[in-house]
Amino acid sequence: MFSRFLFLLFVVLLAAVAGFQLRMSAAGKPALVTGSATGIGRQIAHQLAKEGCNLVINYPFEGLKEAADAVVQECKDLGADAIAVEADVTKPDQVADMMKTIASTWDEPLYICVNNAGITKDSLALRMKPADWQAVIDVNLSGVFYCAQASAKVMTKARAGRIVNIASVVGQIGNVGQANYSASKGGVIALTKTLAKEFGGRGVTVNAVCPGFIETPMTKDLPGVDQLLAAIPLGRFGQPEEVAGMVRFLCTDDASGYMTGHMFDVDGGIGIGV
């Protein structure tokens, strides 16, 4: 009887230690958040900083350096290490250079990649300029692929990693005036499922977060606000912190280690029934 008690006690202690290790697994590991100088990306960086990650604050051009540096300091104030890296996600060579910078900055391999960088160039489809179509596809879809591909080369070698792609509810339901944006985010959803199948056997999960209408600089000038709010069951726009909280959940092993290839809507219910 006593030996059985000792065995059960050992099992309980082992489970407790394992649980602790899972909860702490993101601490001290590099986490890349693309387009994180402002908006949702900034809030995601804050959430991961609270997990103790080493943050890579990515920004696309010199004009956002000051904002990126400010986010770096905010992450440090939260107790994390952080650096700012300028890289255009539409340029594979710049993405590769960013990966080299990450590898030379910390001993731990890249563990988290949040593909958040995105733009809008809205117009009715009949009036949409080819350049506006291509620009959105380049950043929102091709940029996600380039960063996921480069990150996965590191993660699959380490047999551990979390990739979270920021898609959108309009990638599921469409939206008037956003043919390019809807197509790009629908592509991200399909890409997420494919990468999850390809990388799953090597210890890497790939999921997508699909925000609805979130209060950011990119959505503040949307026309027909009253009509939009009427279509949202919760009757309000979401906050960047709410999207960031979902990303944090997906990047924490004990919460999401057995989740991959799925879409997680943070949309106030606007996508119900899709």
Positions marked active-site: 181
Q: How far apart are CA 183 and CA 92, in angstroms?
A: 21
Q: How far apart are CA 117 and CA 142, in angstroms?
A: 11
Asked if 172 and 186 count as a contact pair (C-beta separation under 8 A), the reply is: yes
Q: Which two tokens stand for residue 38?
A: 């402002």
Q: How far apart are CA 6 and CA 274, in angstroms?
A: 52
Question: Which H or E element spans position 112?
Answer: strand 112-115
Residues 6+ apart with CB under 8 A from 148: 113, 115, 163, 165, 191, 195, 206
Q: How far apart are CA 236 and CA 9, in angstroms?
A: 50
- CA distances (Å), 100 to each of 36, 64, 94, 151, 214, in order? 19, 21, 10, 11, 33
Q: What is the DSSP string of 193-219?
A: HHHHHHHGGGTEEEEEEEE-SB-STTT
Asked if 56 and 31 count as a contact pair (C-beta separation under 8 A), the reply is: yes
| CA-atom Rg of the chain in angstroms | 20
Residues 6+ apart with CB under 8 A from 2: none
